[in-house]
Amino acid sequence: MSLTPAFLDELRARTLLSALIGKTVKLTKAGREFKGCCPFHNEKTPSFYVNDDKSFYHCFGCSAHGDAIRWMTEQQGLPFIDAVKELAQAAGMEMPAQDRQSVERAERAKGLHDLMADAAQFFTDQLNGIAGAEARAVLERRGIKAETARAFGMGYSPDSRGKLREELKSYGDPALIESGMLIKVDDKEPYDRFRGRLMIPIRDARGRVIAFGGRVIGQGEPKYLNSPDTPLFDKGRTLYNLDRAAPASRKSSRIIVVEGYMDVIALAQAGFGEAVAPLGTALTEHQLERLWRLSDVPILCFDGDSAGQKAAIRAALRALPGLAPGRSLRFVTLPEGQDPDDLVRARGPAAFEALLEKPESLVDRLWAHEHAAEPLDTPEQRAGLKRRLMTHAEAIADPDVRHEYQAEFRRRVEDLFARPQRDFTPRQFTPRKPGAKWVPPLPPVTSQAKAVSAAGKIDRLLAKAVLAGLIRHPTEIARHMEVLGSLKLADGALGRLFEAVVDLALEDRALDSQRLITILGSSGLGQITTDLLRADATPYSFTQDGAEPERASADLDEAIAIMVARPEVDAALAQATSELEMSTSDEAFQRQMELLREQRALELRLANLIQANNDA
């Protein structure tokens, strides 16, 4: 079959797009267009527009865009050729002639679809007849109502090697074998694949039966048996219940993935019609792509046992290459020993809904898995954690998402292995009651501190020192970010340098001092950086190259605390002095004296940092 551009253009022209979309989306006239709430994402204010003249739809909220064919593939979940056939039939157009092989494949597929529909009807009749009493009792014990069983087309396969073969003999053994309904071993007689099982039809996106799943009645292995791959059925590309879940997901704005079809049926009966399940395999890339067509962030709901958690992490790893901005996975873990059926029967739909409202993100699931993978007591084990996380991040194809995962994993590793932080919160000034004795907080001021204070350069020198310390130790910036983010360290070139240092360190939290200096040099800030880092520029341990790391970190904590506290004390002192000029009361004088002492105490703390460095 050859679908020429001319044929497709004619098909689009004959399809009234607003009528097609209006079957499932409420549209209202808006000038020459129609508008409504977007079916591709959850919104309350309409941003979805349909233009019949130009034959396209567009959402200004999520950027969904396409024509009639794309609507059928993306929103209805049809394969491309099926979408074209359905539109052509509605438009009264003949499909282009097929070549002989295509015609034969189409005829064979049509015959197999008819065969599977008849098999499904046979199984349903058996369930509702005398032979199906035991299967009906199983459904009753599991709490599956009769109307639910009918809605899902459930049935029963008699415990016989030839009843289905006899019932569908008009199709011939070759077709029954090709459809997977009979098993042929060597030269022996073919026999029914499904015997003595509760039967669950598996449908394609158009609702046509393409395969079956069978659950054993009573004891036996395997407990669940699925059809083999056939010309109609590819288990790696098929999701159970997709035909029913797709429209339900558009209403709920979510799609839920569970482990098996019995979970799907139980959830649908409890009011969760947007659930699907893979078919005896881990989620494949094709199934993930199909899920992402329905929801940007599908919810994977697996059992809390070991097998369920392994399935969850396999899905997480398989999804990594397909991640994109806004497109991910979320995870819900059920209480151990319970599946969705158990949960909704024991505690009701509200209990399951509560789990869905607090899902775990993909990055959290990966982190939790790798963090628990092995002990983290040795450097080698910690390095292994970093390598595993970075390997996962590198599997992401989208560069922006990959960068964000790398940065997030680095941050978490740094937080996990960071040294315990000292409390460097600035001391809050609390005035003493009048008459209370004041005790100096630190030893007497040194002569060097007096010289610094007399020159009136404490603030400027301290700003330069802290900035030099941050350049020497860029990994410290993240620890002090809450304080540094609220500071304007300095004006002019020094201020620009401070902003550049903080921005670069936050962009790459693994940045070392030498790389930071190199980047600053290439940004036109090389000379001021060089001047700032001269050995004689600032007399503190944290500004010196080769200083002992723990000592430098502790002194930098203290310096930042002083730098933050000093403006607060200075402002309070200015206010107290102003009040003293207005009132000569003893209380106002006492407050001014206390603030002067607090200011001097800060000078003492700073001077001791200088002295300690000189003594080292």
Per-residue model confidence (pLDDT) at position 509: 64
Give CA–CA dist 305/232, Å, rounded. 33
**Between 592 and 211, residue with greater pLDDT:** 211
Structure tokens at 230: 């056939």
Burial label, 186 (beta-carbon count in 10 A; 0-12, 13-18, 19+) = exposed
B/e letters for 501-511, b = 16+ CB within 10 Å, e = fewer, are bbebbbeebeb
> Can you tell me which residue has the tokens 């999520």?
62
Alpha helices in 473-525 (DSSP H): 481-484, 492-507, 513-520
Region 560-589: mean pLDDT is: 77
pLDDT category, 34, cuts 50, 70, 90?
very high
Lowest mean pLDDT among 61-65, 146-150, 264-268, 372-376: 61-65
**Between 8 and 126, residue with greater pLDDT:** 126
Lowest mean pLDDT among 69-83, 95-109, 433-447: 433-447
Give CA–CA dist 396/80, Å, rounded. 27
Per-residue model confidence (pLDDT) at position 489: 53
Lowest mean pLDDT among 268-272, 411-415, 535-539: 535-539
Per-residue model confidence (pLDDT) at position 457: 39
Per-residue model confidence (pLDDT) at position 78: 80
What pairing do the DSSP bridges indicate for beta strands 191-192 and 182-183? antiparallel
**Between 402 and 31, residue with greater pLDDT:** 402
Question: What amino acid occupies position 216?
Answer: V
Give CA–CA dist 24/12, Å, rounded. 19
**Between 407 and 575, residue with greater pLDDT:** 407
For residue 70, give the 3-state DSSP assignment. helix
Cα–Cα distances (Å) from 128 to 109, 162, 278, 341, 446, in that order, read: 29, 20, 28, 23, 99
Within 10 A of 290 (CB to CB), how many other CB atoms are there?
20
Cα–Cα distances (Å) from 335 to 60, 104, 342, 345, 483, in that order, read: 40, 51, 10, 14, 42
Give CA–CA dist 316/298, Å, rounded. 11
- pTM for this model (two decimals): 0.59
Q: Please report the domains of the chain, with CATH numbers, ordered by start residue.
A: 5-91 (3.90.580.10), 100-226 (3.90.980.10), 242-371 (3.40.1360.10), 447-615 (no CATH)
- The pLDDT tens digits of the residues spanning 190-242 come to 999 999 999 999 999 878 999 999 999 988 888 899 999 999 999 999 999 99
**% of the chain at pLDDT higher than 70:** 86
- The pLDDT tens digits of the residues spanning 330-364 come to 999 988 778 888 888 888 999 999 999 999 999 99
Phi and psi for 300 in degrees, rounded to 5? -100, 120
Per-residue model confidence (pLDDT) at position 452: 36
Cα–Cα distances (Å) from 454 to 57, 256, 559, in that order, read: 73, 70, 19
Q: Is the pLDDT of residue 427 over 70?
A: no
Within 10 A of 437 (CB to CB), how many other CB atoms are there?
5
570 neighbors 426 (Cβ within 8 angstroms)? no
Strand partners, 257: 276, 300
- The pLDDT tens digits of the residues spanning 279-303 come to 877 899 999 998 998 889 999 998 8
Region 316-327: mean pLDDT is: 94
61 neighbors 47 (Cβ within 8 angstroms)? yes
**Between 460 and 239, residue with greater pLDDT:** 239
Q: How many helices (H) and strands (E) does the chain have?
A: 26, 16
What pairing do the DSSP bridges indicate for beta strands 256-257 and 275-276? parallel
**Between 439 and 94, residue with greater pLDDT:** 94
162 neighbors 191 (Cβ within 8 angstroms)? yes
Structure tokens at 27: 């549209």
Q: Is the pLDDT of residue 425 over 70?
A: no
Structure tokens at 609: 């940092």
- The DSSP code for 171 is G
Lowest mean pLDDT among 323-337, 350-364, 398-412, 424-438: 424-438
Q: Is the pLDDT of residue 458 over 60?
A: no
**Between 119 and 516, residue with greater pLDDT:** 119
**Between 202 and 445, residue with greater pLDDT:** 202
> Can you tell me which residue has the tokens 């189409």?
106
**% of the chain at pLDDT higher than 90:** 41
Most trustworthy range by pLDDT among 43-52, 140-149, 506-515, 583-592: 140-149
- The pLDDT tens digits of the residues spanning 154-200 come to 999 999 999 999 999 999 999 999 999 999 998 899 999 999 999 99
Phi and psi for 58 in degrees, rounded to 5? -155, 135
Structure tokens at 99: 């070549």
| Degrees to nearest 5, angle at CA 570 with 567 and 576 | 145
Per-residue model confidence (pLDDT) at position 537: 66
- Measured torsion, CA atoms of residues 411, 413, 419, 423, in degrees rounded to the nearest 10: 30
**Between 528 and 266, residue with greater pLDDT:** 266
Give CA–CA dist 531/528, Å, rounded. 5
> Can you tell me which residue has the tokens 């020993």?
337
Give the residue from 76, 79, 96, 95 showing the smallest Cα distance to 20. 76
pLDDT category, 596, cuts 50, 70, 90?
confident
75 neighbors 40 (Cβ within 8 angstroms)? yes
Question: What amino acid occupies position 499?
Answer: E
pLDDT category, 442, cuts 50, 70, 90?
very low
Q: Is the pLDDT of residue 247 over 80?
A: yes
Give the residue from 387, 335, 396 showing the smallest Cα distance to 362. 396
Question: What amino acid occupies position 533?
Answer: L
Q: Is the pLDDT of residue 462 over 60?
A: yes
Question: For every residue of 531-585, which 3-state class applies, written as one string?
Answer: HHCCCCCCCCHHHCCCCCHHHHHHHHHHHHHHHHHHHHHHHHHHHHHHHHHHCCC
Q: Is the pLDDT of residue 246 over 50?
A: yes
Per-residue model confidence (pLDDT) at position 205: 83
Within 10 A of 308 (CB to CB), how many other CB atoms are there?
18
Give the residue from 230, 221, 179, 167 showing the smallest Cα distance to 196. 221
612 neighbors 541 (Cβ within 8 angstroms)? yes
- The pLDDT tens digits of the residues spanning 178-190 come to 999 999 998 899 9
Structure tokens at 218: 């009573």
Per-residue model confidence (pLDDT) at position 484: 67
**Whole-number average pLDDT of the chain:** 83
Give CA–CA dist 116/136, Å, rounded. 22
Most trustworthy range by pLDDT among 108-122, 149-163, 240-254, 565-579: 149-163
Give CA–CA dist 329/331, Å, rounded. 7
Q: Is the pLDDT of residue 587 over 90?
A: no
pLDDT category, 471, cuts 50, 70, 90?
confident
Give CA–CA dist 348/366, Å, rounded. 30
Per-residue model confidence (pLDDT) at position 429: 46
**Between 444 and 390, residue with greater pLDDT:** 390
Give the residue from 536, 467, 540 showing the smallest Cα distance to 505. 467
Cα–Cα distances (Å) from 466 to 269, 442, 494, 497, 532, in that order, read: 64, 22, 11, 12, 10
Structure tokens at 556: 């930098």
Q: Is the pLDDT of residue 488 over 50?
A: yes
Q: Is the pLDDT of residue 58 over 70?
A: yes
